[in-house]
Amino acid sequence: MEKKVKALLDTITFLVFLFFDFVDVVLCVAYELLDKLFEAKPFPCYCGKKLETKELSETLFWRKNVFREMGFLSFGRKICEAVKKRDDGNRGEVVNRWSDCGCDSCVSWMKKSNQKLHVVVKEFPQVNSEDGPREEATTENVIFLHGFLSSSSYWTHSVFKYLSEPLNHQIYRYFAVDLLGFGKSPKPNDCLYTLNDHVEMIHKSVISAYELSSFHLVAHSMGCNIALALAAKYPKFVKSVTLVAPPYFSDSNDETSSSMALNTVARKTLWPPLAFGKSVMTWYEHVGRFFCFLICKNHTTWERIFKLFTQTRELNFMVVDLTRHTHHSAWHSMHNVICGGSKFMDDYVGILINAKVKVWVIHGDQDLTVPLDCSNNLKMKFPQLKLIIVQNVDHGTVIFHRKRDFVKSLQHIWATS
């Protein structure tokens, strides 16, 4: 009986995703046509594009589609080739895509000549003792990096409320960053959102802008990959790295690492609904763009609707963050940072171990988004790492259900580093 049920579910799953294969091919032609009509310099999709650089993830190119392999795109592209691209003299400018939101908040970054990430800074003032200023006090800097489809609010609404100035004559400055393409940070359409793109923007917006000569790193989920890349580039600057639920999928074969990451974090499944939505948005470039066109482009409208139904003035920051991105930024960050970035993780951790940088890993034992096996495998590969397994918490509650304890753990890590 169980085998029959499993066979039935497998058949239904196959048919559902076969339908999405067809829809994705149709939308590929539709978007190519619309992009040529509305954009001066359309960004090409990955349906027929070949791998050109090591920084791009293999998962962008080898996602199989039955109808694409049968040549269904040929006829549609002949129609698209007959349509001339719009030429309005703005080819050199980075403009907003027609399918992205154009509200004041989403396009404000375009008005700035020197584009930087949105950074929230929390700093405690120098406290004078009875004998005068504390001249012996030193400043410790901490950079917080959020995960996928989130923003700096992830930290400012959680641990920032419980951070206080530690003792031992140290003054702490905390930097919560909106990563490139998310929250209030720039979302350029000419960017591929590689690990290097994220690292360079953090250096420009935080390390260089605030003249940091040393810092601690705290990161959650996707932010862990970026934190390791940043730390490996500046190992002499980094005092400690704390990774919360890191998506570690290392393998001796680079391509296998990327595919392992994709099939783990976005495996094709119908249940639960969140996993189903994640798989559709990750496997199907054009279906994902369609949903972003409906939701992200109209996020202000959806926010007003939610406020009306919930009778609240302010929505939960997690609900707001889910739509504060473009399909282009989310799509490339998922593939180039989480999936493609997995093949660099061993090298990055190795650099930190050799530089004697302390790396701590915190993971919930009930995490279904990024399985605990990721951190266990990381610990097995690098025994020098410190692994803390928290019982009865998942991907989000590992922080949000234990904010005070999490802050205490961080302060202990910083003090011992």
169 a catalytic residue: no
Look up residue 123 and give its amino acid. E
pTM of the model: 0.93
The secondary structure of residue 157, as a DSSP letter, is: T
Which tens digits make up the pLDDT trace of 49-67?
A: 666 677 889 899 888 888 8
Residue that is written with structure tokens 């539709």 in the block: 30
Q: Kindly list the strands in the beta sheet with 138-145, ordered across the sheet, starting from the edge strand earlier in the chain.
A: 119-123, 170-177, 138-145, 215-220, 238-244, 358-364, 386-390
Q: How is the chain split among helix, strand and coil, in percent rounded to 5? A: 50, 10, 40
Strands 170-177 and 119-123, sheet pairing: antiparallel
Rounded distance, CA 29 to CA 43, Å? 13
Fold that domain 104-126+136-255+334-416 belongs to in CATH = Rossmann fold (3.40.50)
pLDDT higher than 60, residue 299: yes
Which tens digits make up the pLDDT trace of 249-275?
A: 976 555 678 888 999 999 999 988 989
Beta strands in 298-392, from DSSP E residues, in sequence order: 358-364, 386-390
157 a catalytic residue: no
Sorting pLDDT into bands at 50, 70 and 90, what band is 79?
A: low
The secondary structure of residue 40, as a DSSP letter, is: S
Q: Please list the residues that pair with 240 across neighbouring strands.
A: 216, 358
24 a catalytic residue: no
φ, ψ at 173 (rounded to 5°): -120, 130
Q: Percentage of residues in the chain with pLDDT exceeding 90?
A: 66
Q: For residue 146, give both structure tokens.
A: 């959020």
Number of Cα atoms under 13 Å in the Cβ half of residue 340: 23
List the chain domain ranges: 104-126+136-255+334-416
φ, ψ at 301 (rounded to 5°): -65, -45
Rounded distance, CA 151 to CA 140, Å? 23
pLDDT higher than 90, residue 164: no
Cα 6–chain centre separation: 33
- DSSP 3-state of 10: helix
Q: Which is catalytic among the residues 24, 57, 118, 146?
A: 146
Q: Angle at CA 325, nearest 5°, toward 198 and 22? A: 105
Q: Which is catalytic among the residues 221, 258, 279, 342?
A: 221
pLDDT at residue number 294: 96
Strands 119-123 and 358-364, sheet pairing: unpaired
Dihedral angle sign, alpha carbons of residues 108, 109, 111, 116:
positive
pLDDT higher than 70, residue 81: no
- DSSP 3-state of 28: helix
Region 15-32: mean pLDDT is 94
Region 307-333: mean pLDDT is 92
Cα 269–chain centre separation: 22
pLDDT higher than 90, residue 314: no
pLDDT higher than 60, residue 22: yes
CB 187 within 8 A of CB 326: yes
CB 239 within 8 A of CB 413: no
On the 0-12 / 13-18 / 19+ scale of CB atoms within 10 A, 3 is: exposed
Residue that is written with structure tokens 């939101």 in the block: 101
Q: Which is catalytic among the residues 178, 197, 346, 367?
A: 367
pLDDT higher than 70, residue 131: no
Residues 6+ apart with CB under 8 A from 214: 140, 141, 237, 238, 239
The secondary structure of residue 270, as a DSSP letter, is: S
Cα 113–chain centre separation: 25
pLDDT at residue number 76: 59
CB 357 within 8 A of CB 235: yes
pLDDT higher than 90, residue 73: no
198 a catalytic residue: no
Q: Please list the residues that pair with 361 across neighbouring strands.
A: 243, 387
